DNA sequence: TAAGTTATTCTACATTTGTAGAAACACATT
DNA sequence: AATGTGTTTCTACAAATGTAGAATAACTTA
């Protein structure tokens, strides 16, 4: 699933809210908010794509994501890694850790996380 | 700079070749190759966007990227990290190292890279 | 219940993207 | 010089995207 920017934006809002009524979505939208009907259109398109679903409370709809943020992001990442680093995670990591991409602190943080992950898997 | 998929594809080819004549680009294109004129169109659009430039050898043009792959990728990443992890590299790293994103080997590899980077910076 | 408010769908339209034929141009070869 | 070959630009057009007004449905409240 690869969503256009505008729909991705709406998904971000919905992922944050987890579930929401129309007004909640509008409210949570970052400035500059698009017209109300614009959001509605995006919502509609996302429903067509099965990316968003809803539960009916009477005649009111409460929307919720049908795809997980993690999954979505994960697949975006894989794509990027495949394209830009011919599928080599090492190359990707290397890129990521070098240059000005991370501060010293963030790098230390990353090591900690990696270490913990390795430890966790060892068991 | 945010390029559409098709143009990104052409950039990938050009980044790999570093510089190339039309025929080199066509040749290097992954299957299924689009029509020749399709590539030409993309090339044109990329020139309009100042993403690709060329040097004239007589009447022949040798094309080359005007934007660095690293820079392009870097900005794509920042965008993604900002959106999906509210700007937290730690959150990103955490996501990246957990789940099925990396095999055990890759994880060890990553640690090595991080360690080396930390060491390199210490001096 | 009439009027206001909110949500939803329809319709619309400009722009961007994906794709490529047709035409024009420059060069190589017969 | 006539023809073929590769390059580049023009033109074209369908599909996707970004944006939103108009119409309609449903609910709230005076």
Which of A8-17, B33-42, B51-60, B111-120 has the lowest average pLDDT? B111-120
- Quick check: B38 CB within 7 A of strand D? no
Spell out the domain ranges in chain A.
Answer: 5-65, 86-123
pLDDT of residue B18: 97
- Calculate how close chain A gets to B36, using CA atoms only, in Å: 22
Residue B77 CB coordination number (10 Å): 18
- Calculate how close chain A gets to B61, using CA atoms only, in Å: 26
Which of A45-54, A107-116, B46-55, B87-96 has the lowest average pLDDT? B87-96
pLDDT confidence tier of residue B99, bands split at 50, 70 and 90: low
Which of A93-97, B10-14, B29-33, B75-79 has the lowest average pLDDT? A93-97
Q: Nearest-CA residue to the C1' of D8? A: B40
pLDDT of residue B101: 65
pLDDT of residue A34: 96
**Cα B72 from Cα B8, distance rounded (Å):** 10
Higher pLDDT, B99 or B122: B122
Selection from A10-19, A107-116, B80-89, B111-120 with the highest mean pLDDT = A10-19
Low-confidence ranges of chain A (pLDDT < 70): 99-101
Task: Say if residue B23 is exposed, middle or buried (CB neighbours under 10 Å; 0-12, 13-18, 19+).
Answer: exposed
pLDDT of residue B75: 86
pLDDT of residue B117: 86
CATH node for A5-65: 1.10.10.10
pLDDT of residue B33: 95
Nearest-5° angle of CA A51, CA B80, CA B71? 140
Reduce the DSSP state of residue A57 to 3 states and report it.
strand
- Quick check: B61 CB within 7 A of strand D? yes
Reading the block at residue B120, the tokens are 């390199």
Q: Is the pLDDT of residue B90 over 80?
A: no
Reading the block at residue B32, the tokens are 């299924």
């Amino acid at each position: 699933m690869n969503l256009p920017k505008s729909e991705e934006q709406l998904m971000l809002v919905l992922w944050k809210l987890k579930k929401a009524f129309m007004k909640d979505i509008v409210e949570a939208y970052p400035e500059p908010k698009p017209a109300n009907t614009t959001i509605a259109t995006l919502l509609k398109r996302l429903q067509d794509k099965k990316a968003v679903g809803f539960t009916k409370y009477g005649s009111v709809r409460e929307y919720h994501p049908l795809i997980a943020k993690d999954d979505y992001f994960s697949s975006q990442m894989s794509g990027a890694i495949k394209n830009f680093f011919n599928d080599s995670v090492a190359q990707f990591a290397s890129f990521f850790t070098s240059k000005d991409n991370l501060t010293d602190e963030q790098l230390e943080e990353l090591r900690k996380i990696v270490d913990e992950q390795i430890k966790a898997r060892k068991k």
